[in-house]
Structure 1
Amino acid sequence: MEPQVYPDRSRLLPLDGALNLRDFGGYPSARGGHVRRGMLYRGGAMHLLSEAAERELAGLGIALVWDLRRRTERDDQPTRWCAAAGTELVARDHEQTPGVLAALLRDNRLEPEAARAAMIELYGVLAEVHAPSYRDIFARLLDGRVPFLLHCTAGKDRTGVGAALILSALDVPRETIVADYALTAVADFGPLLDHYAHVPPETIAPLFASEPAYIEAMFDAFDARHGGVDGFLEHELGVGEDERARLRALLVH
């Protein structure tokens, strides 16, 4: 089935200095209703936000920001606006590198096809490597910590998997989740690309792409190892039918 495309960009938050920042609500649930807008946000690093953009973001009433980056990334590109806004900022110290572009770019001679293959391989393991973070995210959502913002550096890989898991738990169809993931294609990654000027553009392109094949690789891995995304949610993240019913009550109308 072809992914359903949602061409309107009303879910994008065009704040000054924002990177791939958007609302990922509004999608239909297979059980009826739509995911509520203004409750679930996703994005990239926020260290470039202007003061005016930080004030506007703070005005959204976000209760929780979950930062999926490693400590070194957080130290280099800090998220500053949460403390003044009274927003809880949570992160997990970890050493796993999957989803960190710098790790994938250590070999700047990587051929484009090899770079694309590396991304597909990456998406086959991202959810399991970062399962402790995703498990905590769901626990906090179940505690009612919304509106919620999930982010990493590009807001694409670690964040893309997290958003896909949340939408899956809300029974958003797989093809719609793939289409939401692909919306990252409209993001301007110029501020991040400046750090990789030494890497050939043809190598960079697959690493910053949001090909449907990437997130499909995550679903394929769930099918192969967990009997589908539902099995991963229940057995690895503790999100069974009771928890999903509570999430739907909170986030679907």
Structure 2
Amino acid sequence: MNERILDPYLESGRNFRELGGYKTQDGKTLKYHKILRSANLAELTKKDQDFLFNYGLIKDIDFRSKDEVQKEPDRIPDGVEYVFNPVLKEDETKVSKSTSEIEKEFGFTFNDGYKQMLQVYENITLDDESKHAYRIFFNHLLDNTEDNQVTLFHCTAGKDRTGMAAVYFLWALGVDQETIKNDYLLTNKLMKSYIDKKIELLKAKHTSSDIISSVKALMSVNEDYLNVAKRSILAENGSMENYLKESLDLSKQEINDLKKIYLV
């Protein structure tokens, strides 16, 4: 199976997708059955777990905070290595919280959710703990040397902490910026029905349009969020290449090793 979107093959998984098949700027292709990204695995059925086991899953890297993990622990096949690797101390994206919790915490005026997400992306790129988590992520990617052995990485919605991990990984391999952006924005297509249901429930409760706007901003991705991350990276390091080298401590040899492992 060489397909990008895996949601149709799962009973309860969301935002599951392959990074295999993307082309690099020098004409190489990412291998299939090597690396997956997704939302959380807390609702996976036994059938879903069997699918992932048969797909080749050997490692699950969880970017969520301690509270998120305790609230909704991953369900993974026996024998799969679980790696707790929090990018942020708490879920600053708020997607793990209920609508009532979000409303209580923010009070919400128009654009509060949007402004919160801009801050999240600045934090993800600049906080030392986040950089350390992404460095650990790359350590595990460098260990995944056998073909058809799959490493999966995820957070709660599979869009922000996971989204930036995919940005760093694809950039390190030499994938072009347009493809990286499109992979990032693909979340909105895959999560549309889920988000729409949440919004319909809010409307049925006569929730204010300001809160609905903010919840939508929290639950989706936006090119503006990615641009904030890029601006933060450029301001601190001058380029993404320097960010990978200086902030994530990826050596030239390690990047070459990643290319050997994941490209064909």
Q: Which runs of 5+ in 2 are unaligned?
A: none
Segment of structure 1 superposing worse, 71-80 or 150-159: 71-80
Partner-residue secondary structure (3-state), 1:238:
coil
Aligned residue number for residue 3 of structure 1: none
- The secondary structure found in structure 1 opposite 2:67 is helix
SS at match of 1:89: strand
The percent of aligned pairs where both chains have the same amino acid is 25
Aligned-residue CA RMSD in angstroms?
Answer: 2.6
Q: Offset of 1:66 from its aligned partner?
A: 0.4
TM-score under structure 1 normalisation?
A: 0.86
Q: Is residue 39 from structure 1 mapped to residue 34 from structure 2 by the alignment?
A: yes
- Conservation of the 8 A alpha-carbon contact between 1:98 and 1:122: no
> Partner of 2:124 in structure 1?
126
Give the secondary-structure state (helix, strand or coil) at the position aligned to 1:124: helix
What displacement does 1:191 show?
11
Matches of residues 93-172 of structure 1 in structure 2 within 5 Å? Answer: 96-97=89-90, 99-101=92-94, 105=102, 107-129=105-127, 130-144=130-144, 146-172=149-175
Q: Aligned letter for 1:59? A: N
Task: Give the letter for the 1:250 counterpart.
Answer: I
Letter in 2 for 1:152: C
User: Where do residues 1-253 of structure 1 align in structure 2 (5 Å cutoff)?
Assistant: 10-14=3-7, 15-82=10-77, 84=78, 86-92=79-85, 96-97=89-90, 99-101=92-94, 105=102, 107-129=105-127, 130-144=130-144, 146-188=149-191, 189=194, 193=198, 200-253=211-264
- Say if 2:62 and 2:84, in contact at 8 Å, map to a contact too: yes
Give 3-state SS (helix, strand or coil) of 1:64's partner: strand
Q: Is the 8 A contact 1:150 1:159 kept in 2?
A: yes
Which piece of structure 1 moves more, 36-45 or 24-33? Answer: 24-33
The separation in 1 between residues aligned to 2:155 and 2:167, in whole angstroms, is 14
1:137-180 deviation line (CA, Å, top 9, x unaligned): 11121122652100110001111111111111111112211110
Give the CA deviation at 1:13.
0.9
List 4+ stretches of structure 1 deviating above 4 A. 190-194, 196-199
SS at 2:57's partner residue?
A: coil
1:44-102 CA-to-partner distances (Å, cap 9, x unmatched) read 111112211111111111121100011221111111224x1x11110136862364415
Q: CA-to-partner distance for each residue in 1:177-213, whole Å, 9 max, x for gaps? A: 111000001223359949x958732221111121122
Instruction: State how far apart, in whole Å, the 1-side matches of 2:198 and 2:237 are.
Output: 36
Runs of at least 5 residues in structure 1 that lack an aligned partner in the other structure: 1-8
Paired positions, count: 242
Cross-structure match for 1:5: none
- Give, in whole Å, the separation in 2 of the partners of 1:201 and 1:35: 38
Structure having the larger proportion of residues in helix: 2
Q: Which amino acid in 2 is paired with 1:27?
A: Y
